[in-house]
Amino acid sequence: MIDVSTNGAGDASAPLCLHRETVRPEWLDYNGHMNVAYYVLICDHAGDAAMDWLDLGRAYRERTGGSIFAVEAHVTYDRELSEGDPVLVETLALEAGVKKLRLFHTLRHAEDGFVAATNEVLLLHVDLVSRRVVPWPDDGLARINALVSAHGRLPRPPQVGRHVGAPRR
């Protein structure tokens, strides 16, 4: 795992670990644990951090008018989180194309290490003026492809590629 507090500046030989958060009281639902929407929010923040790491995030958008839109996502909720729980997100780059990037986030309890949720998301590169999907810039695609290649050597979590459904009992 690459941790931004240590060597996260450029190494992609492990899942990116670029985002940490703490479960806030306002994120709890009436069951006393974190509401489903906030698992997605935390993973979205991790996606933003990954795009910044690739130099295709906020600064890129401001420079070029290009951005990303999430067009499909799949979430698993594996274990509940409560107020004050520290979380971290590991990000794998699964697949890329000239206009797309598929990421997989594993949201973990930062102290106990258990998997609380996963989020697989398909992102498309968009020109914000035309609001159309367009190819990544060559240098950006090269960085994405390098990350996908490095992460392609890593084991795939069992949740990758899952569809909605419950095991039969």
pLDDT tens string 19-34: 999 999 999 999 999 9
Full residue range of the structural domain in which residue 27 is found: 2-151
pLDDT tens by residue, 95-144: 999 999 999 999 999 999 999 999 999 999 999 999 999 999 999 999 99
Residues 36, 4, 54, CA angle at the centre, nearest 5°?
80
Say how many domains are in the chain. 1
pTM of the model: 0.90
| CA 2 – CA 168 distance, rounded (Å) | 37
CA distances in angstroms from 92 to 85, 95, 106, listed in the order given: 23, 9, 8
- Cβ(136)–Cβ(98) below 8 Å: yes
CATH of the domain at 133: 3.10.129.10
